[in-house]
């Protein structure tokens, strides 16, 4: 099957409802708070891949909702790194359900990732859970205020080391991870979604 026909099939069946129905009941409510809405993910993925970026990394991928939507609507390959193993397992099953071959979800902490292995980046406020411990997704990983700064510093340094022209999309958050070398060039969804471009 060609990539094109594969993409059309996936797009036809991916909706908020169809995605949510594939989640365990416990995650359905959390989904609205922690995972990117399909329409937002579609815009973000289109922005990230419009310069022909091929390998897109979601920094803290959850159940892979951004990656799955991106893989359904664009030709890029979406890589999701996630430190909660149970979410990786659920997301991989959902990607299979939609027949997607351009999604790879991996159980990995972001501090073990080398960003230069990828072309473009997506960030939906992953590290804040270390500060707002009561609003955690589940108890699967250790969360500490010190980890917030550690992950943030690592991400900022990695992003700062990438080539000029690198694209980054952020959704919500305070954008402290975004180095000064990036400039905001576009926004949507009432300013919650931002496209940044590395200037030097
Ligand atoms: C707000 S959710 C966003 C999920 C996904 N990017 C989306 O948009 O649907 C943030 C995710 O980042 C994960 N995360 C937080 N810190 C991480 C780290 N250091 N390494 C890998 N994943 C992390 C959390 O477990 C959570 O699933």
Give the CATH number for residue 38: 3.40.50.150
Q: Which of 87, 126, 135 to mutate to test the pocket of ligand 1 (most atoms within 8 A of CB)?
A: 126
Pairwise CA distance, residues 35 & 22, whole Å: 14
Q: How many domains does the chain have?
A: 1
- 157, two tokens: 């340094």
Cα–Cα distance for residue pair 198/168, rounded to 1 Å: 8
Ligand 1: centre distance to CA 50 (Å): 24
Query: Which residue's structure tokens are 């664009």?
Result: 74
Q: Is the pLDDT of residue 8 over 60?
A: no
Q: Domain containing 83: what range?
A: 3-198
**Res. 2: pLDDT tops 50:** no
- Going by alpha carbons, the residue nearest to atom 1 of ligand 1 is 34
pLDDT digits (tens, 9 = 90+) for 89-117: 999 999 999 999 999 999 999 999 999 99
Chain centre distance of CA 100: 16
Q: How far is CA 162 from the centre of its chain?
A: 18
Return the SS3 of 89.
Answer: helix
Confirm if 48 and 122 have CB atoms less than 8 A apart.
yes
**pLDDT greater than 80 at residue 195:** yes
Q: Parallel, antiparallel, or unpaired: how do β-strands 103-107 and 77-82 relate?
A: parallel
pTM listed for this prediction: 0.94
d(CA 158, CA 149) in angstroms, rounded, equals: 14
Q: How close is the Cα of 127 to the center of ligand 1, in Å? A: 7
Band (11; pLDDT cuts 50, 70, 90): low
For residue 102, how many C-alpha atoms fall within 13 Å in the half-sphere facing its CB? 21
Question: What's the pLDDT at 12?
Answer: 52
Identify any residues that bridge with 167 across adjacent strands, giving them in sequence order: 120, 197
Across the chain, mean pLDDT equals: 93
Q: Which residue has the tokens 């790194």?
A: 81
Which residues lie with the beta carbon below 6 Å from any ligand 1 atom? 34-36, 58, 60-62, 65-66, 81-84, 87, 109-110, 124-127, 137, 151
pLDDT of residue 1: 36
């Amino acid at each position: 099957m060609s990539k094109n026909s594969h993409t059309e099939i996936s797009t036809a069946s991916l909706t908020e409802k169809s995605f949510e129905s594939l989640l365990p009941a416990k995650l359905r409510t959390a989904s609205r708070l922690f995972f990117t809405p399909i329409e937002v993910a579609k815009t973000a993925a289109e922005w990230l891949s419009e310069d022909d970026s091929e390998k897109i990394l979601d920094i803290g991928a959850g159940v892979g909702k951004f990656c799955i939507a991106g893989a359904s609507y664009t030709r890029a390959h979406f890589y999701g790194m996630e430190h909660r193993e149970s979410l990786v397992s659920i997301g991989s099953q959902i990607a299979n359900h939609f027949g997607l071959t351009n999604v790879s979800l991996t159980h990995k902490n972001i501090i073990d990732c080398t960003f230069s292995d990828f072309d473009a980046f997506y960030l939906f406020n992953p590290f804040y859970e270390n500060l707002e411990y009561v609003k955690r997704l589940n108890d699967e990983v250790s969360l500490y205020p010190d980890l917030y700064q550690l992950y943030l510093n690592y991400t900022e340094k990695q992003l700062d080391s990438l080539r000029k022209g690198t694209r980054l999309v952020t959704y919500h958050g305070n954008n402290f991870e975004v180095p000064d070398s990036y400039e905001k060039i576009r926004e949507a969804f009432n300013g919650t979604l931002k496209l940044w471009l590395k200037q030097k």
